[in-house]
Amino acid sequence: MPTPLRLSEIFYSIQGESSYAGIPCVFVRLAGCNLRCRWCDARYTYEEPGTPWALPVILAEIKRYPTSALVEITGGEPLLQEGAYALMAHLLTTGRTVLLETNGSVTLDRVPAGVVTIMDVKCPGSTMADRFDPDNLNRLRPGDELKFVLASRADYEWAADFVRRHKLIGRHPIHFSPVTAELPPADLAQWLLADGLAVQLQLQLHTLLWPGQKRGV
pTM of the model: 0.96
Any domain includes 87 = yes
How do residues 15-50 score in pLDDT, each as one tens digit?
A: 999 999 999 999 999 999 999 999 998 999 999 999
How do residues 48-58 score in pLDDT, each as one tens digit?
A: 999 999 999 99
In this prediction, residue 1 carries a pLDDT of 61
Number of domains in the chain: 1
d(CA 140, CA 189): 27
Any domain includes 111 = yes
How do residues 140-178 score in pLDDT, each as one tens digit?
A: 999 999 999 999 999 999 999 999 999 999 999 999 999
In terms of residue numbers, what domain contains 12?
5-209
For the CA atoms of 145, 24, 47, 121, what is the dihedral angle to 10 degrees?
A: 10
d(CA 39, CA 77): 15
- CATH number of domain containing 179: 3.20.20.70
